[in-house]
Chains A and B, each alone.
Chain A
Amino acid sequence: MQNMKMSERIKILKKKMLAQKRYMSVEQALLTTDVYKKNEEKPVIIKRALALQAALEKIEIAVEPEEMIVGNRTRGVRFGVVSPESGGSWIDGELTTLPNRPQDPFQVHAKDIDDYREIIKPYWQDKSLEDILQKRYGRELAAISKVAKINQTDHSQGHICPDCLLWLEKGPAGIKEQAQRLTGGQSLTREQREFYKSVVIVMDGMQTFMLRYSILLKDTARVNGKFASSLEKMADNCENIAKRPPENFHEAVQSLWFLFVVLQMESNASSFSPGRMDRYLYSFYKNDIDNSIISADDALEIIECLWLKFNQIVYMRNAGSAKYFAGFPIGFNIAIGGLDEYGNTAENDLSYLFLKAQEDLGLPQPNLSVRLNKNTAQKLLQYAVKVVSKGSGMPQFFNDEAIIETMMNDLKIEKKDAWDYAIVGCVELTTQGNNLGWSDAAMFNMNKALELAMNHGRCLLTGKQLGPDMGGLERFSSYEELEKAFAAQIDYFLEKMIMACEEVEKGHMALLPSPFLSAVIDNCLANGVDVTAGGAKYNLSGIQIIQAANVADSMAALKQLVYDEKRVSGAEMLNALQNDFNGFEIVRTMAENKVPKYGNDIEWVDNIAAKWAHYFREKLTHYKNCRGGIYHTGMYTVSAHVPMGENVGASPDGRLAGKPLADGGMSPVYGCDKNGPTAVLQSVSRLDNVLTSNGGLLNMKFLPEFFATEEGIEKFSMFLRAFVDLKIPHIQFNVVHREDLLKAQKEPEKYSSLTVRVAGYTAYFTELDRKLQDEIIARTEYSAI
């Protein structure tokens, strides 16, 4: 493995890709608008299918002669696609600022501005998901937004693992045939018939799309002598997989890539994940190797071509959202290793080749995850650590021992699905091919709820009454009274959050049925029910608890300083918070230095974090979502700890108003973890895995010296073995020099390919907003002590 070399072809392709400018694209939006206009009277699902078909037939396509895997949803790479049917009211206002905004800029053609303003915007006004939700429920969403941030109000639902195995077994032809057969069934409802009809339309579109590439590849081969033979081979591949299932490794990978391109064309959503690709591609690989159809080097080249492809689709967000999800993470999450259905550790040659591709390319996508368990081979573990040490922040690690049992016990997922779990987006857990997990339904800012509990339901930053007045710090005579008020604020906002989530789901059901996606999500096709209408086998909704570390530190400070030691009165503490600690430096320094913090292996503080997360989780279990599934919780912020912190006034842990909350989700507040990484793991292990059944995120940062020797890599693998034993669901590492980051800020042009772990994903450091860059630099660093 170590001796394999990245090919010239890959180097050229990588260079070409990074050199291309990103543009906003309205091409598909124009096609969609045209279809909707011409089919006003048809059902929404048929309009959606026809619109996708039109795009597959007409959208401009391109290939590079060096490519071995082809396909994209726009002519150029990394284009920001406008999807007016879901939303985009922000686009009009930001058309002129998009090229120069600080986070994730996109170039804009003048003609596109005109098309957007004259054709697209006028048609979709009051028809898009965003506009309809805004009209129907906008006021309620705004009223709770400081505590509960509701997601998916202006774009399609992603964070889904399609049934890749089914796709490889059937291909578009097979699925089309199945849908056609089912359409003829007796006693179908009108909705079911429309559903099957729409599946036939989109699969037909997919076949056309593949054949268009085949023709383009043949044409390119005719004018490009150097790569003619590989272009011709790919032309054959595309033609074959349009008509029948793939028969070899190269065809299988090509077919998979088309699947993901078209999922993105239909939904333009954040994250469709390939899941356990080393498992379902292995039979193709092994067959080709055994029959000398390809060598391991050939396979690596194909894999690296696919890896490049994963970096060519990005998700364009508005300026505000780009702050939360900086670096346009698209979340092509691949999970390698893990267990097989008999409980044996399941890594194979492809697991190693995937790691090798990550080591070679060091790009933000795919989001590579390694599933660890007690029996993970030491060779895989050490190689994964070695790849981590290269500094791209990947792979991240998930823990089978923590996750599988929780899925079965607490989410009632069948064993055959639980052992086969994968990851979507950043760290969200899912079963494969049968789950609409709706894993980012909302983020609940516990720290804001605590603020309101301390301050009569009023915002510390604006003085506005946001929640009910249940008293204030100057009135609570005991810690228990404070706890009661905190619980009351959580209850109040939680109920409103659930109602808002229901509104959003109903909007998706009515406006954004997704026949192509539904065709690759188990039970939808069999039952003729779209995935947005509850057609999937599993229908969960995930709410993120933000942020347990700050809650623990703040509650610990109140308990110790105000109620146990009585060094500060409740009134004085509230006064200090209202004044952002101005004139209360002694109170602040006590809160910072005299009270133990979460993350130091101190039970009573860690238990506060667990207690409030449990409280929240328990309340959620009283509700069901619109698709009949349950609500559960995750503990990760993506990069939202920065803007969410901006919403929270000064807090009793000594944090000043507007400063970021702890990053990650399970991680301690930066700089507060004074007892080192082993103590952090012990603290985090006190958070029950039921709290993170939707995903948890633990971020740690190490300097490269730690990995400089074989001995260091071995010690790191020991650290990860203990992580498995402690049943912590997730961990990821940033391995960078502080100096490197400072230099990259000064000379960004020299560091354009420097990637860092932002939260659950990797982004280009120089493309991050300055504030987020500073924040990453400030995170705790561990070197060898």
Chain B
Amino acid sequence: MKKGLIFDIQRFSVNDGAGIRTTVFLKGCPLHCIWCQNPEGISVNAKLVCFASSCILCGQCAQKGDNAVRIEKKQVVIENDKVKNPDEYESICPAGALRMDSRWYELDELIHILKRDKVFFKYGGGVTLSGGEPFFQNEFSTALLQKLREEGIHTAVETSLYTRPGSIEKALPYIDTLFADFKIYDNDLHKKCTGVDNDIIKKNIKFILQSLYRDNVIIRTPLIPFYTAVPENLQKIAEQIVSWYEHVKYELLNYNPLAAAKYKHVDYDYCFSEKLPMYTAEQMAYFYGILKEAGIIGY
């Protein structure tokens, strides 16, 4: 299986690892975090969506006759289960408003795209796999990482580690930097917020932190007010990972309120209805103080 379902390829990514990178967003995720930054990446199916800001309501999509796409009250309504040939809709729309939210790429085709910015990578950048959950398409991801390694391109992966230990083990040799999320220590709360238990995640973190590749690993917690950005949670995570590897690198991702805007195109709601601010430099320093207290020496 040398095809992967990708919902975005972002060049000039500067926050997903060292240097200037291209980030590949793989579709599908077993978690359903209520604060998810890329909610369009959760569902495993490609679907047709309409970007209302580009739509000029010309009605050409509604004239196809299968009633899968209609205009109701000056809005395009799509019934994805009725859409048979989504590509046709994409091509009919003169405004480029009707688009597939993801598409399948052959491995070679994707490599060809990723190699385009090689001239930038050579000064310390590379390719980052993100998602979704990259290991949700683990065969494709591993093949991709292997191929990137052959091309001499630095690789990074951003993962929830909610996957079979075997798939991690296979991919690890081809990963230069592994960003592994550890969101919530308490299992009940973890399940409530993400939809899954965290025992597999803990097991995997322990595994990679005791592997040959442990210095390539950076544990991350996205700071979400009231859920993860709680001193006790950060402290417990820190103590746990230090017990597995004393030199473990651990970083905190500041809360990003912009994700809320993305929820227009998915069927569920963002965890906050009001707009919360990012954490200030002082607050971030306070959180990092907790990690230090718990024995973290690597950031």
Query: Quick one: CB contact mask for B5-35 with A, threshold 8 Å, 1 for yes?
Result: 0000011111100011010000000000000
Bound Cα distance A402, B113 (Å): 25
Q: Do A593 and B94 touch across chains, with their CB atoms under 8 A apart? A: yes
Q: Do A676 and B11 touch across chains, with their CB atoms under 8 A apart? A: yes
Q: Do B20 and A679 touch across chains, with their CB atoms under 8 A apart? A: no
Q: Do A718 and B124 touch across chains, with their CB atoms under 8 A apart? A: yes
* Chain B, residue nearest A565 (CB): B91
The reply to whether the CB of A19 lies closer than 8 angstroms to some CB of chain B is no
Bound Cα distance A784, B16 (Å): 10
Between A and B, how many residue pairs show CB distances below 8 Å?
67
Q: Do A678 and B117 touch across chains, with their CB atoms under 8 A apart? A: yes
Give every chain B residue within 8 A of A585 (Cβ-Cβ).
56, 58
Q: Do A712 and B116 touch across chains, with their CB atoms under 8 A apart? A: no
Bound Cα distance A639, B158 (Å): 44
The reply to whether the CB of B212 lies closer than 8 angstroms to some CB of chain A is no
Query: Quick one: CB contact mask for A284-321 with B, threshold 8 Å, 1 for yes?
Result: 00000000000000000000000000000000000000
What's the nearest-Cβ distance from chain A to residue B64, in Å? 16
Q: Do A782 and B95 touch across chains, with their CB atoms under 8 A apart? A: no
The reply to whether the CB of B54 lies closer than 8 angstroms to some CB of chain A is yes
* Chain A, residue nearest B15 (CB): A784
The reply to whether the CB of A4 lies closer than 8 angstroms to some CB of chain B is no
The reply to whether the CB of A39 lies closer than 8 angstroms to some CB of chain B is no
Q: Do B11 and A679 touch across chains, with their CB atoms under 8 A apart? A: yes
* Chain A, residue nearest B124 (CB): A718
Q: Do B94 and A594 touch across chains, with their CB atoms under 8 A apart? A: yes
* Chain A, residue nearest B60 (CB): A586
Q: Do A784 and B14 touch across chains, with their CB atoms under 8 A apart? A: yes
Query: Quick one: CB contact mask for A584-603 with B, threshold 8 Å, 1 for yes?
Result: 01100110011000000100
Q: Restricting to B28-61, which residues have a CB under 8 Å from any CB of A? A: 54, 56, 58, 60
* Chain B, residue nearest A589 (CB): B95
Which of B12, B54, B56, B119 has a CB less than 8 Å from the CB of A676?
B12
Give every chain A residue within 8 A of B231 (Cβ-Cβ).
none
Q: Do B123 and A721 touch across chains, with their CB atoms under 8 A apart? A: yes
Give every chain B residue within 8 A of A594 (Cβ-Cβ).
94, 96
Q: Do B119 and A718 touch across chains, with their CB atoms under 8 A apart? A: no
Bound Cα distance A782, B11 (Å): 12
Give every chain A residue within 8 A of B123 (Cβ-Cβ).
718, 721-722
The reply to whether the CB of A224 lies closer than 8 angstroms to some CB of chain B is no
The reply to whether the CB of A677 lies closer than 8 angstroms to some CB of chain B is yes
Q: Do A676 and B10 touch across chains, with their CB atoms under 8 A apart? A: yes
Interface size on B, residues (CB 8 A): 25
Q: Do A785 and B15 touch across chains, with their CB atoms under 8 A apart? A: yes
The reply to whether the CB of B120 lies closer than 8 angstroms to some CB of chain A is yes
Query: Quick one: CB contact mask for B107-121 with A, threshold 8 Å, 1 for yes?
Result: 000000000110110
Give every chain A residue within 8 A of B19 (Cβ-Cβ).
715, 718
* Chain B, residue nearest A720 (CB): B123
Give every chain A residue within 8 A of B117 (Cβ-Cβ).
678, 682
Q: Restricting to B87-135, which residues have a CB under 8 Å from any CB of A? A: 94-97, 116-117, 119-120, 122-125
What's the nearest-Cβ distance from chain B to residue A782, in Å? 7
Q: Do A706 and B54 touch across chains, with their CB atoms under 8 A apart? A: no
Q: Do B14 and A589 touch across chains, with their CB atoms under 8 A apart? A: no
Give every chain B residue within 8 A of A678 (Cβ-Cβ).
11-12, 20, 22, 116-117, 120
Which of A601, A675, A715, A726 has a CB less than 8 Å from the CB of B14?
A715
Given contacts A585-B58, A586-B58, A593-B54, are A722 and B119 in contact (CB under 8 A)?
Answer: yes
Give every chain A residue within 8 A of B125 (Cβ-Cβ).
718
Query: Quick one: CB contact mask for A556-596 with B, threshold 8 Å, 1 for yes?
Result: 00000000000000000000000000000110011001100
Give every chain B residue within 8 A of A676 (Cβ-Cβ).
10-12
Give every chain B residue within 8 A of A677 (Cβ-Cβ).
12
* Chain A, residue nearest B19 (CB): A718
Give every chain B residue within 8 A of A593 (Cβ-Cβ).
54, 94-97
The reply to whether the CB of A725 lies closer than 8 angstroms to some CB of chain B is yes
Give every chain A residue within 8 A of B13 (Cβ-Cβ).
785
The reply to whether the CB of A719 lies closer than 8 angstroms to some CB of chain B is yes
Bound Cα distance A678, B96 (Å): 23
Bound Cα distance A593, B91 (Å): 11
Give every chain A residue within 8 A of B94 (Cβ-Cβ).
586, 589-590, 593-594
Which of A590, A675, A725, A782 has a CB less than 8 Å from the CB of B119?
A725
Q: Do B14 and A706 touch across chains, with their CB atoms under 8 A apart? A: yes
Give every chain A residue within 8 A of B10 (Cβ-Cβ).
676, 785
Q: Restricting to A674-727, which residues have a CB under 8 Å from any CB of B? A: 675-679, 682, 706, 712, 715, 718-719, 721-722, 725-726
Bound Cα distance A721, B12 (Å): 14
Bound Cα distance A398, B218 (Å): 38
Give every chain A residue within 8 A of B119 (Cβ-Cβ).
722, 725-726
Give every chain A residue within 8 A of B58 (Cβ-Cβ).
585-586, 589
Give every chain A residue within 8 A of B96 (Cβ-Cβ).
589, 593-594
Bound Cα distance A675, B13 (Å): 11
Given contacts A589-B56, A589-B95, are A675 and B120 in contact (CB under 8 A)?
Answer: no
* Chain A, residue nearest B13 (CB): A785
* Chain A, residue nearest B58 (CB): A586
Bound Cα distance A682, B13 (Å): 16
* Chain A, residue nearest B95 (CB): A589
What's the nearest-Cβ distance from chain B to residue A120, in Å? 56
Which of B14, B60, B116 has a CB less than 8 Å from the CB of A785?
B14
Give every chain B residue within 8 A of A675 (Cβ-Cβ).
11
What's the nearest-Cβ distance from chain B to residue A25, in Å? 49
Query: Quick one: CB contact mask for B215-253 with A, threshold 8 Å, 1 for yes?
Result: 000000000000000000000000000000000000000
Among B19, B20, B58, B94, max chain A CB count under 10 A is at B94
Give every chain B residue within 8 A of A682 (Cβ-Cβ).
116-117
What's the nearest-Cβ distance from chain B to residue A665, in Å? 22
Query: Quick one: CB contact mask for A633-677 with B, threshold 8 Å, 1 for yes?
Result: 000000000000000000000000000000000000000000111
Among B19, B60, B117, B119, max chain A CB count under 10 A is at B119
Give every chain A residue within 8 A of B11 (Cβ-Cβ).
675-676, 678-679
What's the nearest-Cβ distance from chain B to residue A760, in Å? 24
What's the nearest-Cβ distance from chain B to residue A300, in Å? 31
Bound Cα distance A610, B125 (Å): 29
Q: Do B95 and A601 touch across chains, with their CB atoms under 8 A apart? A: no
Bound Cα distance A585, B96 (Å): 13
Which of B14, B54, B95, B120 has a CB less than 8 Å from the CB of A722?
B120
Give every chain B residue within 8 A of A718 (Cβ-Cβ).
19-20, 120, 123-125
Bound Cα distance A688, B175 (Å): 37
* Chain B, residue nearest A712 (CB): B14
Q: Do B20 and A601 touch across chains, with their CB atoms under 8 A apart? A: no
What's the nearest-Cβ distance from chain B to residue A565, in Å? 9
Bound Cα distance A542, B207 (Å): 65
Bound Cα distance A676, B116 (Å): 13
Give every chain A residue within 8 A of B12 (Cβ-Cβ).
676-679, 782, 785
* Chain B, residue nearest A586 (CB): B94
Bound Cα distance A721, B119 (Å): 9
What's the nearest-Cβ distance from chain A to residue B88, in Å? 14
Bound Cα distance A718, B13 (Å): 13
Give every chain A residue within 8 A of B15 (Cβ-Cβ).
784-785
What's the nearest-Cβ distance from chain A to residue B294, in Å? 25
What's the nearest-Cβ distance from chain A to residue B180, in Å? 21
Q: Restricting to B142-191, which residues have a CB under 8 Å from any CB of A? A: none
* Chain B, residue nearest A718 (CB): B123
What's the nearest-Cβ distance from chain A to residue B174, in Å? 23
Give every chain B residue within 8 A of A706 (Cβ-Cβ).
14
* B residues whose Cβ falls under 8 Å from a Cβ of A: 10-15, 19-20, 22, 54, 56, 58, 60, 94-97, 116-117, 119-120, 122-125
List 9 contacting pairs A-B, 8 Å CB cutoff, sorted by A: A589-B95, A590-B94, A590-B95, A679-B11, A712-B14, A715-B14, A718-B120, A718-B123, A722-B122
Considering the complex of A and B, which 9 residue pairs feature the smallest CB-CB distances, nearest first? A593-B96, A718-B123, A676-B12, A590-B94, A589-B95, A722-B120, A676-B11, A678-B12, A722-B119
Excluding A593-B94, A678-B20, 16 further A-B contacts by CB distance (< 8 Å) are A586-B56, A586-B60, A589-B58, A589-B96, A590-B94, A675-B11, A676-B10, A678-B116, A678-B117, A678-B120, A679-B11, A682-B116, A718-B123, A722-B120, A782-B12, A784-B14
